[in-house]
Structure 1
């Protein structure tokens, strides 16, 4: 029974991530399709409606929303909504976590986001982190020696339960030739992910 159960768990570990990923994509597409179906049929007669039109329309809407975010009026509106959400105790925690998580993967952010994968040495231990900002001079008490400027390093904890921001001289930070996705996977899964361990820079 132990042998059978061990192999069942191996099969489940192989199939479950793929199945959940495919189901999530299917659920998201189905949700967009159902949500935009009434909108499309209010313009196009029902007999001309084809399956998938809602999904295509959803992609177009998201594309134009991405363009609209660059407009000052839209940015101001989003800022007001964010300030409102940040005043609601439980909602601000959920929104803040989701917002920060999406910032990891959103391209073209004006803030720059994560710039470089690095190693930080603390005693004999080496921690994998991310360079987030360079040339920090606006925090009292941070003094760079000579040409060695201060940089900010973010150290996320496993399974994204928190993290630390370290301010270190650049000489104390060692760049690592890993992609952001590979490094983030390694840190967040505590090196339990086989895909993270086998990925190459």
Structure 2
């Protein structure tokens, strides 16, 4: 790797934050779930209660508990509690930037306001197209009316670029967005027919 710009403390700190954003949610989630698995398997002696061991019982219990928490989280009381902690974290200096970025990124995939659902082909130059996903169609608030935000994932990497392009330059693509994402991230080596098959299956479902 070569650096086009000299390394400074600010750049190193930005690299640290980027690494933290990528690794912390993954490590934290994995550690909590693994700890819960081992704790439950340690306190529940299935050999004593049933006369035989039940491998993976901790996994089943933890996954069921997480699902139950998600179900409860849809309720009004839990929503108020979540909103309270959300407000506290977003008002905490230093933490609010990281928390907001992680929250927005997760909600873009699994939240009610999913972003990566509309795949498009954007004409760049001389009939060359780039595949991406529209993440925002209204940019009036930043004085960029007439442009849309299109995210271009990198192949073989969990990163990408965001471009603001004229609406007439984009071409909506039919098909399952997850299949399109796999096609882009894999550098185009995955089965492109899977995208067309998803179009047919969606048409048949209608």
TM-score, normalised via structure 1 length: 0.60
Aligned counterpart for 1:163 among listed residues 160, 175, 192: 160
Gaps of 5+ in 1: 1-26, 145-149
Aligned counterpart for 1:152 among listed residues 149, 157, 177: 149
Q: 1:65-122 deviations in whole A, cap 9, x for unaligned? A: 223444221243356568879649xxx59x967983x55642xx13332131100011
Contact 1:185 1:196 in 2 (8 A): no
Gaps of 5+ in 2: 1-29, 197-206
Alignment-derived partner of residue 48 in structure 2: 47
Counterpart Cα distance in 2 of 1:97 and 1:189: 24
Counterpart Cα distance in 2 of 1:79 and 1:46: 46
Give the direction of change, closer, same or farther, for the CA distance of 1:105–1:161 in structure 2 (3 Å limit). Answer: closer
Indicate whether 1:138 and 2:144 are aligned: no
Superposed CA RMSD? 3.7
Give the direction of change, closer, same or farther, for the CA distance of 1:113–1:68 in structure 2 (3 Å limit). Answer: farther
Secondary structure at the residue paired with 1:62? Answer: helix
Farther off after superposition, 169-178 or 159-168? 159-168
Superposition deviation, residue 61 in structure 1: 0.9
Aligned counterpart for 1:127 among listed residues 126, 130, 140: 130
Superposition deviation, residue 153 in structure 1: 1.0
Alignment-derived partner of residue 169 in structure 2: 172
Give the direction of change, closer, same or farther, for the CA distance of 1:103–1:143 in structure 2 (3 Å limit). Answer: closer
Alignment-derived partner of residue 62 in structure 2: 58
